[in-house]
Each structure stands twice: as structure tokens, then as C-alpha cells.
Structure 1
């Protein structure tokens, strides 16, 4: 029999953290982070990492354990998350995987999600290298954003070598690591109960804007400045929305006010991409959290009851 695994997905600012904690308390669960950037220490405010108070004593895994200088791939996460899921289950607890990084979620769930490195295509690589020289790193990076924005979020535009290698993987028909392909829950290593949170677009965007303002009040600019002063401009960790925009301001490319505007805009765009990804990738039980402040308790209870009924 496959191991039960609850998965809570949805765009940024929709309420995943709060629901996951309530579910863990009710169903004797432990939470596994599925966000690409919350694995890093010192990236707290900008990644909306759950505080100790918000965790309410519930164990959280793969959260806040890597130095920002360290590299951490999807393959690394796949290995670590599967190991943690097994350990949580061995303790008789319910593993709850929570996150907004769709690629990471799929990598954990599906046994045929492999990370084969494609053979080198020197002609294609030369074309990409020439494109970068002729048009600039940002133009090359834009090609990656167009093909797979989820993956692009984790790579610095100036890391040309990695951008090119990723574009090669996306081009290779034998590489399943980064491309959407036909997968169903029967292909999962687990018995997954996938809960997706969504809400009316206008309310979601209002919550995102308000969250960014709150982050700034809580010290986002100072947090980003400390990372900038450590010389982390090229690190994968600080490609998270919030840091890269502020780094531009620190480099005098634009004002702090413009950086905050960009953070809000990019967060809204990312939320839209997250919903698109989840809608096209996996089977999800969607729950509308519109008017979340008013209906959260009632919706959370119904979701927990639904999950309890699905556990085998």
C-alpha cells in the first residue's frame, strides 16, 4: 500500500501556511516545505517563511537549513523530501507537503520524474552563446522564462552557463526533468491527497500587495541589504522575488520605491503562473478561499474532514 501524502498547493498569499498548521494539529501531521527559496537561512521576510509563532510547535522540515551561498537543485530536493516523508511516516505521523514551487512538488510525487542530463549539442550551445553575446544575458534569460518560468525563477540571468544548460534540457525530447508530460496520480510514489487553494483574482492581488507592504514594514529592505553586502548577487538563493528587485535598487538601477512596485508586480505575475502550472500538471481538489478572513475556519474544517476521509 502506498504511503499517504497530503499536498497543499496554491499561489503565494493564499493561506497555505495557516491551513497546513491547522491540518497538522488535527491529523497528527508534520509539515515538509515545498518552496524553492524557503530552504535557505537568512531569507525569512522576503520568502514569507512561517515564523516560530506561526508554526505553533508543529515540526517543519526542509525549512531554513541551507546557507544562501549553497546550491540546491530540484534533484537534491527530490531526494531529501522523499527521505523526510519516509521518516515522518515511520513515526506514525502524516506527512504534509506544502508549497508553491510546482516543479518541486512534481519531482517528489512522481516516480518517472527523473533528471537525466541530455547529450551535448554543440551547435545549439554555440547558437545560444552567440545569442547571449549579440543580445545580452537578459535576452537569453527571456528565452528561458518563455519556455519554463518556474525553472527560470531559480536561476540568475547572469549565470549564462546554467541558463544555456537548462535550455538544452528543455530542448532535448528525452529529458523529463523540466518538461510537462502526461502524468496522473496512478504514477505517484504515494497516495497523494492534493488540496489546491485559490481565490478571486482581485482579492488575491490585494493580499499580495498588502503582504509586500507588511514585509517592508517588518524589515525586508534591511534583510535584502544584509544579503547584498555579503556579495550574494549571483547566488541562486537571492533570485527569489523581493531580493532581486531590491538588489537592482542597491546597484542604483532605480529607486527603492520602484523596487517595491516591481516586487508587487512580479509577485502578482508569479501567482498567476503558479495557478497556470498547477491547473495543467496534476489532479487537484480545488478550494475557493475568496473572503478568506471571514470563511477560513469553516473552509479549513471541511478540508480537514475531506482529507481525513481520503487517508487509507
Structure 2
């Protein structure tokens, strides 16, 4: 059963399209959003509730505690096993999300460079000395593409990129596979909107998250160790609320920086995905995207 990947920037409606496609073809969904792997991180990640999933099986959701570190390597192994198990059952695997490295690792069988504890420790010390923003700027000087694909608040991945650059003498992306035929002959569908319209959608999405209780969700997760989570605590929305609470606020001032950070992240997603010539792009405003996605799926080979 040829998989379908529905990818693209945040806020474009990938989950809704995936549900419609899954109902049409008898599919099961494999999450490719890094932060939706975390139990309890629901509102800020726009995770579908159980009721909203319409009885369609979803995989790689709620598989990590907020204190655990999410890694691309773990995801790649687990999600690949899910895809193959779904296909073996005679269902269609539908990979859905916007986490760039997660998608590429899964569809292009990324082989990850080795690590060196001493080099890693050196860059972690540098991170502690200069801070995440300054270290991100240093990464941009030696590997602009890596810096463009990594959030400037994601210290762990910035450290990893710098480690790989030092160990290999090559850009971080050089360790990535060349774009060729996607694994399992997957049909890759991209969903996007006009920039102005998507910005409006992102603003509404952010407003809804705060109205639906994002601050209370963060408060609850802090009691479960969110602050100690290497990756979870840096998620968009969560990091901004934590910063506001730590400064003595009530969390509501995090709304604007969350929106700005999300919009910035969308720009990086677009830059990354637009390099991939295999993606069949659909306009989020179109009314026939289910049919268009299925047509592309049936004709990709």
C-alpha cells in the first residue's frame, strides 16, 4: 500500500485534509509533528482530540513524557515501523505533519552521523556561556542552511548541528540523503495558503489556543516536569508562556511572541519544503483538495 505524506507549513489544515483522505482510502495516520509526540501538550500543538480523530487510528501521538528528549533518530525508527505495519494490514499509511527533519528522515532514510561526547560537551558549554540566540548566530556563520532549518530557541539541535559540522568538516545538511525516490514510493502532498491569508489563520489559531486554556495547560505541565524537558520546554507557545510566567506575568503576554515565532517558523518550513521537487502542492483555499491529493497519489510512481 503506497503511503501518502501530507506535509507543509503550520496552520495550513493538514490534519483536516488527512482525516478526509483517510476516510476515503481506509488509512491510518502517522504523526510527523515533533511536539505532538508529547503527552499533555495538546492545546499548544493543535493536537486533534480523540473525538476529532473520527475513529481513525493515529500513531506517534502521546508517546513521550515532557521530561523525555525527542530525537529524529527515535522518531525515524518508530514511525517507519508504524508505516510498514499499517501497510501490512492492508491499510494506507498517511504521514502528516510539518516537522522538516522528521519528514525527511522518514521518507529519505536519513543515516545520522556519529556523536562525540567531548565535542558535544564543548558546544553545550558554549551554549551555556553565550546563550541560545548567540549560538544560533554562530551556526549561521558556518552553516546557513542548518541555521535556517533550526529554531533559534532550539539549543539542543543547534549544538547537534555544530557538533556534526566539526566532526565531519561538512555542512549539517551534507549528512542528509540526496532527494531521490521517496521511501515506499510515497506520494508527497504539500498544503499551503497565500501568505496574507495564512498569517490571518495563524493569528486566529494563536488566539484560539490562549482562549482554550494554553496557559493553564502549561501550568499543569510545569508540575509534571516541563521545565526540565530539553525539547518540550522549547516548543512554540510553551516556551513563550514559561518565559512570561517566570517574569511575573500571568502568561497572557505570551500571545504576541507566540504568533510572531509561529509566523517565523512557517517561513522556514516553506523555504525547506520548496526545495523538494517531489512535492505535489495544493492550495489550501481550494475545495477539491481531497480529490486532488488522491489523484496525485494514484499517479505517483
TM-score above 0.5, yes or no: yes
Alignment correspondent of 1:301:
291
Which among 184, 209, 213 is matched to residue 215 of structure 1?
A: 209
Residue 305 and residue 189 in structure 1: after superposition, are their counterparts in 2 closer, same or farther (change >3 A)? closer
Residue 56 and residue 270 in structure 1: after superposition, are their counterparts in 2 closer, same or farther (change >3 A)? same
Query: Partner of 2:274: helix, strand, or coil?
Result: helix
Structure 2: give runs of 5+ residues left out of the alignment: none
Alignment correspondent of 2:113:
116
Shift of 1:91: 0.2
Which among 80, 84, 87 is matched to residue 86 of structure 1?
A: 84
Which among 254, 264, 271 is matched to residue 276 of structure 1?
A: 271
- Asked if 1:285 corresponds to 2:280, the answer is yes
Residue 181 and residue 116 in structure 1: after superposition, are their counterparts in 2 closer, same or farther (change >3 A)? closer
1:153-186 Cα offsets, whole Å, 9 max, x none, are 784x4x6xx7534311134447787547562332
Residue 112 of structure 2 contacts residue 175 of structure 2 at CA under 8 Å; is this kept in 1?
no
- Asked if 1:230 corresponds to 2:224, the answer is yes
TM-score, normalised with respect to structure 1:
0.84
- In angstroms, what is the RMSD of aligned CA positions? 2.8
Alignment correspondent of 2:5:
7
Which among 1, 11, 36 is matched to residue 38 of structure 1?
A: 36
Residue 126 and residue 13 in structure 1: after superposition, are their counterparts in 2 closer, same or farther (change >3 A)? closer
Cα distance in 2 for residues equivalent to 1:72 and 1:116: 17
Cα distance in 1 for residues equivalent to 2:217 and 2:299: 43
User: 5 Å matches for 1:237-248?
Assistant: 237-248=232-243
User: 5 Å matches for 1:1-312?
Assistant: 4-111=2-109, 113-118=110-115, 129=125, 132-133=128-129, 135-144=130-139, 147-152=146-151, 155=154, 157=155, 163-173=158-168, 178-179=173-174, 183-186=178-181, 188-235=182-229, 236-252=231-247, 256-281=251-276, 283-289=278-284, 292=285, 295-296=286-287, 298-310=288-300
Query: Partner of 1:210: helix, strand, or coil?
Result: helix
Which of 77-86 and 247-256 deviates more? Answer: 247-256
Cα distance in 2 for residues equivalent to 1:231 and 1:11: 29
Number of residues paired by the alignment?
296
Shift of 1:253: 6.4
Cα distance in 1 for residues equivalent to 2:251 and 2:206: 13
1:229-282 Cα offsets, whole Å, 9 max, x none, are 334223111211010000001101666343100000001111111111111245
Cα distance in 2 for residues equivalent to 1:281 and 1:21: 24
